[in-house]
């Protein structure tokens, strides 16, 4: 969440918290503290923090959640519940005094647009292989598609996620499709099809699933069947290539045999993250592969290398082995140069196929080996 500076107010902020170091950039809004997206210093600070993380840590991606301008807070005034206005009068007046002509709503959307585009550009300038993505609220605007009703993120959160996708400012988009598949006004398949249709640059569409609802203990809880059906609908939609589950906590709790059923019915075999072909490719050629029986252990192993050596090898090896029972896939770190494909005494493969995979998911041509049992 790039603008929410403080979630809990129960304890005092640390001395190096932004509310202490830059108090003029932080405003109380409802129960939380927020930074003003219209303040250029806020955008710069957010980008500086993100790019510092990208420089210093070996991360695969940078992910932004659905909070941009906040979801509306309300207060009771004279027995009436009224929405609390976001406190950005000063920054908007400054913008207008400087010659700005946008309405406040358009100005707010422009502020968020700038952050998204500059983060995307900045992340790729520092490390071209790091992917940048956003998980916006699942509805862009009511009526898109026609049957959909719900919160208008374009007008309320000032988040124009359709534009970010249309402009190719993200490597992946994870619209939060957090409704049951049978909700008539938020149909999972219709919303997913609409988002895929807006994907003009061929980025990844990985819908977000509220898997955590399986752990709910009230009447709104879901069964694991709901999540499995959402995965099925995603796989049935051309142009959608995966799911993002919220959150990790529910997988640790494992209600309703969630983990066992996901492993058995949806994710029985490992899979590579789909390639981001618009990002720079390492261009690996087919790997050099040899197979042998290890003289000490008796295991069948493969020796792995690239025809043109690179530091630490490729990012991953994708190794497939075939027996009478079918194919088995393993995905192993590229730093491995020897890998056991059949322990001593196990069924020996008749065929081995290996690909080298780079940081953005591009796989080389495969090398094939036939083996003798």
The architecture CATH gives domain 288-370? Sandwich (2.60)
Give the closest residue to 157 by CA, choosing from 120, 94, 113, 200: 113
Q: What's the confidence (pLDDT) of residue 313?
A: 82
Q: What's the confidence (pLDDT) of residue 340?
A: 98
The sign of the dihedral angle between the CA atoms of 294, 300, 306, 310 is negative
Burial tier of 248 (Cβ tally within 10 Å: 0-12, 13-18, 19+): exposed
* Rounded distance between C-alpha atoms, residue 286 and residue 363, angstroms: 9
pLDDT tens-digit profile of 281-295? 999 999 999 999 999
Average pLDDT over residues 98-105: 98
Q: What's the confidence (pLDDT) of residue 245?
A: 98
CATH number for region 35-266: 3.20.20.80
Q: What's the confidence (pLDDT) of residue 373?
A: 56
pLDDT tens-digit profile of 293-346? 999 999 999 999 998 888 778 999 999 999 999 999 999 999 999 999 999 999
Q: Measured in Å, how far apart are the chain's first and last C-alpha atoms?
A: 55
pLDDT tens-digit profile of 247-258? 999 999 999 999
Average pLDDT over residues 233-249: 98
Range list of H helices, the chain: 18-21, 40-56, 89-97, 104-126, 153-156, 161-167, 188-197, 224-236, 248-253, 258-261
Average pLDDT over residues 200-211: 99
Q: What's the confidence (pLDDT) of residue 325?
A: 94
DSSP of 88-157, one letter per residue? -HHHHHHHHHTT----HHHHHHHHHHHHHHHHHHHHHHH-TT-EEEE--BS-SSTTSSTT--S--HHHHT
Mean pLDDT of the chain: 96
Q: What's the confidence (pLDDT) of residue 206?
A: 99
Average pLDDT over residues 132-145: 98
Where b means 16+ CB within 10 Å and e means fewer, 216-229 reads eeeeeebebebbeb
* Rounded distance between C-alpha atoms, residue 153 and residue 144, angstroms: 12
pLDDT tens-digit profile of 32-79? 999 999 999 999 999 999 999 999 999 999 999 998 999 999 988 878
For residues 232 and 191, the answer to whether their CB atoms sit within 8 Å is no
Residues in the chain: 373
What are the residue ranges spanned by the domains of the chain? 35-266, 288-370
> At residue 103, does pLDDT exceed 90?
yes
């Amino acid at each position: 969440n790039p603008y929410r500076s403080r979630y809990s107010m129960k304890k005092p902020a640390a001395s190096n918290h932004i509310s202490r170091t830059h108090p003029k950039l932080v405003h109380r809004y409802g129960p939380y503290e927020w930074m003003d997206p219209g303040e250029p210093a806020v955008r710069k600070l957010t980008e500086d923090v993100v790019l510092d993380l990208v420089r210093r840590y070996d991360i695969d991606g940078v992910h932004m959640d659905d909070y941009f301008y906040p979801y509306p807070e309300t207060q009771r005034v004279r027995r009436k519940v009224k929405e609390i206005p976001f406190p950005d009068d000063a920054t908007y007046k400054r913008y207008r005094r400087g010659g700005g002509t946008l309405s406040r709503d358009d100005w707010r959307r422009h502020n968020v647009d700038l952050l998204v585009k500059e983060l995307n550009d900045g992340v790729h300038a520092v490390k071209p292989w790091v992917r940048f993505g956003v998980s916006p609220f699942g509805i862009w605007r009511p009526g898109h598609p026609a049957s959909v009703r719900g919160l208008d993120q374009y007008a309320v959160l000032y988040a124009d996620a359709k534009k970010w996708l249309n402009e190719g400012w993200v490597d992946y988009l994870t619209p939060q499709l957090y409704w049951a598949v049978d909700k008539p006004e938020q149909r999972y398949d219709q919303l997913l099809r609409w988002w895929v249709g807006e994907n003009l640059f061929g980025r990844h569409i990985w819908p977000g699933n509220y898997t955590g609802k399986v752990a709910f203990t009230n009447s709104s809880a879901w069964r694991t069947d709901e999540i499995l059906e959402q995965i099925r609908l995603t796989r049935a939609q051309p142009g959608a290539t995966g799911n993002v589950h919220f959150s990790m906590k529910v997988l640790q709790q494992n209600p309703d045999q969630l983990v066992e059923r996901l492993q058995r019915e949806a994710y029985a075999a490992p899979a590579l993250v789909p390639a981001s072909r618009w990002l720079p490719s390492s261009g690996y050629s087919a790997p050099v592969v040899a197979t042998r029986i290890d003289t000490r252990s008796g295991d069948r192993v493969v020796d792995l290398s690239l025809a043109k050596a690179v530091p630490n090898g490729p990012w991953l090896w994708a190794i497939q082995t075939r027996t009478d029972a079918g194919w088995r896939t393993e995905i192993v770190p590229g730093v491995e140069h020897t890998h056991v494909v059949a322990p001593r005494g196990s069924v020996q493969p008749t065929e081995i196929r290996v690909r080298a995979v780079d940081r953005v998911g591009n796989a080389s041509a495969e090398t094939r080996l036939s083996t003798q049992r």
